Structure 1
Amino acid sequence: MSDPLTYSYYGGSAHRWPAQPRLDGDRQCDVVVIGGGFTGLSAALACAERGFSVVLLEKEKIAFGASGRNGGQLIPGLRWTASELEKDFGPQRADALFDLCWRQNPVRARIEKHGINCDQKSGHLEAAWTPADFDATRREAEYLSARFNYRSDVVPKSDMGAHIDSGLYHGGIYDPQGGHFHPINYAIGLGKAALAAGVTIFEDCRAFGVEDGLQPVVSALGGDIRAKHVIMAADSWMSDIWTGNVGLRLGRYTVPIMNYNIATAPLPDADALLPSDAAVADSRFVLNYFRLSADKRLIFGGGERYSQTPPRDIAAFVRPFMAQVFPQIAEAKIDYGWGGAVAVTMNRLPHIGRRGNVFFAHGFSGHGALVTTLAGELIAEAMAGTAERFDVLAGLPSRPFPGGKWLRRPLATLGLLWYALRDRLG
């Protein structure tokens, strides 16, 4: 897969990031963070702000993984609706999860605090693929208003033209608390803030293993690092890191799904496509998601592949999905096509927790642009001795995919293909 910092639209429009050195020799610090995406960067920054000495290890360059390859959509909440959370976990836990995942906006707070220029815009629309989906969306909006006094606007099909110039959808729900941004520029802003706070970042530095104990040791390319705490934030690459005495095999809890995005050339009629400039994601299991960039390109994600091999022509793979939604630009010039792996859990809720002095967060299941920053900050809180909010997310249920090392991915793929088939039949 081409490096998105070089070949994606985000890479082509990224701010300057100073290349960081490779690890050369053993080190000692308070906290080692493994992974330079949103989770790892926000955790490193928040730990440094609390006075910890922090080293961050990134196997490639910062934001190389899902943090630099996503659709740039900022969607409040989790993959489960708030009503589903209350039904399964009860009102008290639902209240706590809602306060964290809907009412908090740590991304906006970081952007404002550090003056990060990342094209942040407000507004997110969930578009209903079927009339039944719209009915469910409308009920959820009514529930959010009555239960949490949370504003979201029901948009009937007759009013969808205010948001999207497509007759494909049957209405939707507009959330002004959501939005979209340039993800790599956000990551670069976090990285620069982390450096200014005293974090040492090593790039091109793969972590091979973690040995737990009173003072964990991270074995990495270039040396070993002894620390009081370790934060594992490698998402789809978690299974590449051997965890010794902790007894963890975190890779068993997720499977990678390949998602692909395209960016058109700047469109003269871009504002007519999405008049409210909201980000849009539809209600299908294999969803379409799209938005306008700051320079009036349509950034469109569609389709999934369960093979790790990317299509030979990403633009040709995604174009039919775009053309279905916007037939008026079916032949538009496509300047960029990119993709990467999203780590998905069994229940599509993130897998967050700790084992002794090792903390971890991964499996955000394609809904992570907001909650990853939150997870990193909550880990720093817990490390500093206040674990109440961390425990809310760490208490989410999780279990590994069945099938062991060799059958886990094929069995998961069969299940995912079934849900994808339901989209086509439905």
Structure 2
Amino acid sequence: MTDPLNPSYYAATALERQSRNEIRGETRCDVAVIGGGFTGLSAALACAERGFSVVLVEADHIGFGASGRNGGQLIPGLRWTASELEAEFGAERADALFDLCWRDNRVKARIAKHGIDCDLKTGHLEAAWTPADFGNMRQEADYLARRFGYRSEIVEKADLARHIATPLYHGGVYDRHGGHFHPLNYALGLAEAAESAGVEIWESQRARGIDQRAHGLRISTDGTGIDARYVIDATDSWIGEVEPDLGRYTVPIMNYNIATAPLAIADDLLPSDAAVADSRFVLNYFRLSADKRLIFGGGERYSQTPPRDIAAFVRPFMADVFPQIADAPIDYGWGGAVAVTMNRLPHIGRRGNMFFAHGFSGHGALITTLAGELIAEAMAETAERFDVLASLPSRPFPGGKWLRRPLATLGLLWYALRDRLG
């Protein structure tokens, strides 16, 4: 399908894509995967590596959703800090979550193993919007070092110019374990690796539902049907179209990005070439591309209707951070939906032989690959690590089919207002 939200820099600079539209009719396999993003691709690849026969169906093309159009920021951890996780769940579960979500960088491992060309770069800076935010960051960095031996660099306001050329922030924390990449090329690289491992990938095949059969599960698609022992639903923002009950656990938030023309002063703007995200609830996040464009995300909309001019919508946020390029040419503007849960933690689990993972809440570029691999582990009857993430609490948004999104929007708007008030 043609997507007006995705005339993106990533699509324009993607590696050569293969055509994967051939369908072989009624099919039987061990594992059927729905969704061609990071979660589905990594799950399919990891299952094939364990000897399962795997078919993956994607309604559009590989990387069509958030996996192929996000900000490209690789941020270790979850939306909750490690100290918040320990306070809520206790030391033992916090240890297990930390080992998975901070230490185990499966994205970096996959890139290295398969030689994926996706402009991987090292370093992520969290920038403090207020002095109080910086105090919280410093406290968390000290906790991570003391509790887990996880070292990051506390950057005082006076030293921020080593990373970012703006006076807007009050300090930050630089994490060398984070980084950034070209997300669509990573997805395409995962797809090639999966096919090399034996996965069949069918594009332009929308899954219409999952049915229980006497000897397994069946996925009905636009053109055929797939009978499988296991099914993995990795459709994230579209999960309600396949499993309506799971759709109650997230609401979509529309997020928008721009890419400038290549900038002569790019290295002056971000001297350490780190990705940056700030601490506001409606955050700014930005980084340099391999060809020295500034890729900038800013602002959110709680309506599914995109702004008439995405570049004009995002430009003021960029100009606030970098007034020196307020009038820079913008070559690309695009957007997409981020599936957000009530508590901003991912919703991962299983229902019989159907596994699912969604609701990564804008923090999914690293955790999605891990989630896919943990699903494969659970299918191979080693579920201990899968259970760590599956045990994270989740509950549906209130309000039912018609009121869920309006009620969630009211809550999100309140937090956005707190940003503006200070």
| TM-score, reference length from structure 1 | 0.97
* 2:230 maps to amino acid: H
Q: Which residues of 2 match residues 391-406 of structure 1 at below 5 A? A: 391-406=387-402
Q: CA deviation at 1:397?
A: 0.1
Distance 1:120 1:183 in 2: 9
**Residues 24 and 222 of structure 1 are in contact (CA less than 8 Å); yes or no, is this contact kept in structure 2?**
no
Report Cα offsets for 1:255-312 as digits up to 9, x if no partner. 0000000000000010000000000000000000000000000000000000001000
* 2:329 maps to amino acid: K
Distance 2:298 2:64 in 1: 20
Report Cα offsets for 1:160-215 as digits up to 9, x if no partner. 00000000000000000000000000000000001111100000000000013540
Q: CA deviation at 1:392?
A: 0.2
Q: CA deviation at 1:6?
A: 6.6
Q: Which residue of 2 aligns with 1:314?
A: 310
Q: CA deviation at 1:23?
A: 3.2
Q: CA deviation at 1:223?
A: 1.0
Q: Which residues of 2 match residues 4-403 of structure 1 at below 5 A? A: 7-23=7-23, 25-213=25-213, 214-242=215-243, 249-403=245-399
* 1:375 maps to amino acid: A
Are the structure 2 counterparts of residues 5 and 228 from structure 1 closer, same or farther at C-alpha, using a change threshold of 3 Å? Answer: farther
Distance 2:231 2:2 in 1: 29
* 1:236 maps to amino acid: S
Report Cα offsets for 1:366-386 as digits up to 9, x if no partner. 000000000000000000110
Distance 2:369 2:347 in 1: 14
What secondary structure sits across from 1:134 in the alignment? helix
Q: How many residue pairs align between the two structures?
A: 421
Taking every aligned residue pair, what percent have the same amino acid on both sides? 76
**Residues 4 and 10 of structure 1 are in contact (CA less than 8 Å); yes or no, is this contact kept in structure 2?**
no
Distance 2:19 2:337 in 1: 24
Report Cα offsets for 1:22-66 as digits up to 9, x if no partner. 435211000000000000000000000000000001000010000
Report Cα offsets for 1:310-358 as digits up to 9, x if no partner. 0000000000000000000000000000000000000000000000000
**Residues 6 and 69 of structure 2 are in contact (CA less than 8 Å); yes or no, is this contact kept in structure 1?**
no
**Residues 5 and 336 of structure 2 are in contact (CA less than 8 Å); yes or no, is this contact kept in structure 1?**
no
Distance 1:4 1:12 in 2: 14
| Pairwise CA RMSD | 1.2
Are the structure 2 counterparts of residues 23 and 5 from structure 1 closer, same or farther at C-alpha, using a change threshold of 3 Å? Answer: farther
Q: Please identify runs of 4+ aligned residues in structure 1 that moved more than 6 A.
A: none
Are the structure 2 counterparts of residues 4 and 156 from structure 1 closer, same or farther at C-alpha, using a change threshold of 3 Å? Answer: farther
Q: CA deviation at 1:69?
A: 1.2
What secondary structure sits across from 2:216 in the alignment? coil
Distance 1:355 1:300 in 2: 38
Distance 1:88 1:335 in 2: 45
**Residues 123 and 174 of structure 1 are in contact (CA less than 8 Å); yes or no, is this contact kept in structure 2?**
yes
* 1:138 maps to amino acid: R
Are the structure 2 counterparts of residues 141 and 6 from structure 1 closer, same or farther at C-alpha, using a change threshold of 3 Å? Answer: closer
Are the structure 2 counterparts of residues 358 and 416 from structure 1 closer, same or farther at C-alpha, using a change threshold of 3 Å? Answer: same
Distance 1:5 1:189 in 2: 23
Distance 1:324 1:5 in 2: 24
* 2:43 maps to amino acid: A
Residue 409 of structure 1 is aligned with which of 394, 405, 410? 405
Q: Which residue of 2 aligns with 1:421?
A: 417
Gaps of 5+ in 1: 244-248
Distance 2:45 2:24 in 1: 22
Are the structure 2 counterparts of residues 310 and 296 from structure 1 closer, same or farther at C-alpha, using a change threshold of 3 Å? Answer: same
* 1:365 maps to amino acid: S
Distance 1:212 1:173 in 2: 49
What secondary structure sits across from 1:168 in the alignment? coil
What secondary structure sits across from 1:201 in the alignment? strand
| TM-score, reference length from structure 2 | 0.98
**Residues 5 and 335 of structure 2 are in contact (CA less than 8 Å); yes or no, is this contact kept in structure 1?**
no
Distance 1:4 1:95 in 2: 43
Report Cα offsets for 1:193-249 as digits up to 9, x if no partner. 011111000000000000135401111111111100000000000011147xxxxx1
**Residues 57 and 207 of structure 1 are in contact (CA less than 8 Å); yes or no, is this contact kept in structure 2?**
yes
Q: Which residue of 2 aligns with 1:246?
A: none
**Residues 30 and 52 of structure 2 are in contact (CA less than 8 Å); yes or no, is this contact kept in structure 1?**
yes
* 1:318 maps to amino acid: V
Are the structure 2 counterparts of residues 170 and 242 from structure 1 closer, same or farther at C-alpha, using a change threshold of 3 Å? Answer: closer
What secondary structure sits across from 2:126 in the alignment? strand
